[in-house]
Amino acid sequence: MSERLEVNKTFKLVVKGAFVRSESGRSYEVRDAAGGFLANVAQASRKDLRDAVVAARAAQGAWWDASAYNRGQVLYRWAEMAESRRDELVDLVGAVEGHKKKDALGHVGRAIDRIVWYAGWTDKVAQVLGGANPVAGPFFNFSQPGPCGVVGVIAPQESSLEGFVNCVAAPLCVGNAVVAVASEQRPTPALALAEMSVTSDFPPGVLNVLSGFGAELMGQLASHGDVDGIDLSGSGDAADELARVAADSIKRVYRERSNDVENPLRRLRTFVETTTVWHTIGQ
């Protein structure tokens, strides 16, 4: 039997539930930890990012209108998909981050467990962050948490999968739609996990994941007027400037702290809006 030619994969962007090439047709090479060629990935342009925001805005309402139980089931299905392809994710994380298999297994396992953890929070957020408030008068007064809308994520550069999951699962949990820019040099694990979201019953556009150069995409995401919040975990030295730019359009801004892995609820709270509802007490 003659030798087969290897069919190398080019990782696409995930926008509106589809795998798309950049509108510019550009791609770039991703290297493994040893410097060898690993894969080609699509290089998103600023127009790709704008298209992803449009898709996220269109999908966010349907995601929030779904019951909290349903959102939890969708997130859990995403974790199931990741578990079924765990070996693939382990290989990708090990290659780009230079981990031995045991360490890569740990990173992938924690990432999947974090999705399950947030899946369990979808129907508990209202109980923890909302409630009935005491008032002087014949009224009921309730605090009801809801999503802020479309959340931009600049994923951590070093932690290609676990860090990515920490950033995107929290805003998804509370009903936001997400536009995420994956690690610039290590995007393949995040893109593979994003592929799995397409068959996990997310409404198309709820989770959009782009690969590309941070210098081209981060400023556009921070300044976009239809993005309601932004996670700057992977922005590095540009975080202060991006936070200033984001303030021009009154975005909620998340800045990672050293203990946030142990306190993931802080991410969740950042992208929640609380509505106060008054109602008269019937006689």
Residue 5 lies in a domain: no
Whole-number pLDDT of residue 258: 57
Which DSSP symbol is given to 238?
G
Whole-number pLDDT of residue 137: 83
Asked if 229 contacts 171 with a C-beta cutoff of 8 angstroms, the reply is yes
Read off the pTM. 0.93
Whole-number pLDDT of residue 256: 75
Residue 206 lies in a domain: yes
Residue 98 lies in a domain: yes
Determine the angle formed by the axes of helices 162-173 and 188-198, rounding to 10 degrees. 40
Residue 4 lies in a domain: no
How many domains does the chain contain in total? 1
Residue 2 lies in a domain: no
Residue 7 lies in a domain: no
Residue 154 lies in a domain: yes
Name the E strands within the chain: 10-11, 13-15, 18-20, 27-31, 37-42, 131-132, 139-147, 150-154, 177-181, 207-210, 229-231, 252-254, 272-280
Which residues constitute the domain of residue 128? 13-280
Whole-number pLDDT of residue 259: 55
Asked if 200 contacts 78 with a C-beta cutoff of 8 angstroms, the reply is yes
Short-list 226, 221, 209, CA closest to 17: 209
CATH number assigned to the domain comprising residue 48? 3.40.605.10
Whole-number pLDDT of residue 262: 59
Residue 8 lies in a domain: no
Mean pLDDT by 10 residues, the chain (283 residues): 80 97 95 93 98 98 96 98 97 95 96 96 89 82 90 95 96 97 97 96 97 97 97 94 95 77 77 88 70
Whole-number pLDDT of residue 87: 97
The per-type count for the chain, helices as H runs and strands as E runs, is 10, 13
Tens digits of residue pLDDT in 148-185: 999 999 999 999 999 999 999 999 999 999 999 999 99
